[in-house]
């Protein structure tokens, strides 16, 4: 089955209300290219205002708690994000794994919570530079997949994002051969875990994707879209990535 490409933006901790103006151009590009899926994950405070501004664009969140409610000061449940209008939630981003010490088990719990409340979970995995230099990248990443993906996951609510930590925000990207090898390894691990359904699960590449390199990265086997940080902050930079995805569909 052909997998539709998904181009998802992660604004991280950037943007105030006035930044939502960027969504108009992105929404227009998404409508002009209905053969690809487009989503933007702004800070949680902007989810509801973003949905109000561009009701046709898929808006996502950047994290959720694994529990549905409780004494977790400062956290947001998947149900709250759903109520705010989110369609997706990124879980296990390497910045959270590093800064908040999130484990694979935490990430799996968050993905399960997302599913319970009707959100698509974008589960992030990726090796550090030390791990790649040591020749351990595939072992590290496939073990993150094994630990972070809920059993019984299906493509209608699970997306994987392969994001080498050393490529995030650095302007460096892996070779296309390395991207192909890692995406194939991730799909093989998913097949062990969820059988034939693995063929339907989208595996995004993330890490310094931009308008210049997107066409090459998105054309790699098993690359079903992109998770885009810096270049998603402006419509001018993000739209060429959407167009590159659309041209391949
Ligand atoms: C990210 O953090 O998800 C990311 C891919 O960032 P950037 O595109 O800026 O490397």
Looking at 14-133, which runs of residues are DSSP E strands?
37-41, 58-61, 88-91, 120-125
* Site of tokens 């968050």: 110
DSSP secondary structure of 92-126: S-HHHHHHS---HHHHHHHHHHHHHTTPEEEEEE-
Average pLDDT, the chain: 98
3-state secondary structure of 234: coil
Residue nearest atom 7 of ligand 1, based on CA coordinates: 229
For residue range 146-170, what is the model confidence (pLDDT) as tens digits?
999 999 999 999 999 999 999 999 9
CA angle, residues 246, 37, 62, in degrees to nearest 5: 130
pLDDT for the residue 241: 98
Percent share of the chain, pLDDT over 70: 100
- Is 163 annotated as catalytic? yes
What spacing in Å lies between the alpha carbon of 138 and ligand 1's midpoint? 20
pLDDT for the residue 63: 98
Domains in the chain: boundaries: 6-247
For residue range 4-27, what is the model confidence (pLDDT) as tens digits?
999 999 999 999 999 999 999 999
Residue nearest atom 8 of ligand 1, based on CA coordinates: 229
For residue range 223-233, what is the model confidence (pLDDT) as tens digits?
999 999 999 99
- For residues 206 and 216, what is the distance between their CA atoms, to the nearest angstrom? 13
For residue range 177-221, what is the model confidence (pLDDT) as tens digits?
999 999 999 999 999 999 999 999 999 999 999 999 999 999 999
pLDDT(1) > 80: no
Its pTM surpasses 0.75: yes
pLDDT for the residue 2: 83
What spacing in Å lies between the alpha carbon of 109 and ligand 1's midpoint? 23
Pick the CATH number of 6-247 from 3.40.1710.10, 3.40.50.1110, 3.40.50.2300, 3.20.20.70: 3.20.20.70
Residue 90's nearest CA partner among 197, 206, 180 is: 206
pLDDT for the residue 40: 98
């Amino acid at each position: 089955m052909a997998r539709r490409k998904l181009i998802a933006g992660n604004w991280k901790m950037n943007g105030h209300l006035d930044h939502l103006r960027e969504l108009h151009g992105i929404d227009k590009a998404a409508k002009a290219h209905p053969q690809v899926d487009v989503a933007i994950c702004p800070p949680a405070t902007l989810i509801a205002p973003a949905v109000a501004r561009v009701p046709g664009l898929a808006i996502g969140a950047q994290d959720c708690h694994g529990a549905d409610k409780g004494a977790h000061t400062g956290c947001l449940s998947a149900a709250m994000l759903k109520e705010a209008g989110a369609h997706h939630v990124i879980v296990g981003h390497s910045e959270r794994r590093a800064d908040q010490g999130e484990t694979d088990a935490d990430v799996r719990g968050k993905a399960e919570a997302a599913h319970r409340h009707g959100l698509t979970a974008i589960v992030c995995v990726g090796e550090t530079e030390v791990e790649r230099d040591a020749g351990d990248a595939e072992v590290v990443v496939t073990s993150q997949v094994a630990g972070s993906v809920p059993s019984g996951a299906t493509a209608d609510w699970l997306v994987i994002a392969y994001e080498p930590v050393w490529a995030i925000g650095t302007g460096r990207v892996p070779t296309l051969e390395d991207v192909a090898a890692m995406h194939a390894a991730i799909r093989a691990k998913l097949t062990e875990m969820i059988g034939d359904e693995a063929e339907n699960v989208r595996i995004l590449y993330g890490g310094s994707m931009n308008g210049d390199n997107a066409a090459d990265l998105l054309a790699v086997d098993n690359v079903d879209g992109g998770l885009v940080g810096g270049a998603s902050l402006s419509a001018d930079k993000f739209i060429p990535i959407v167009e590159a995805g659309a041209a391949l569909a």
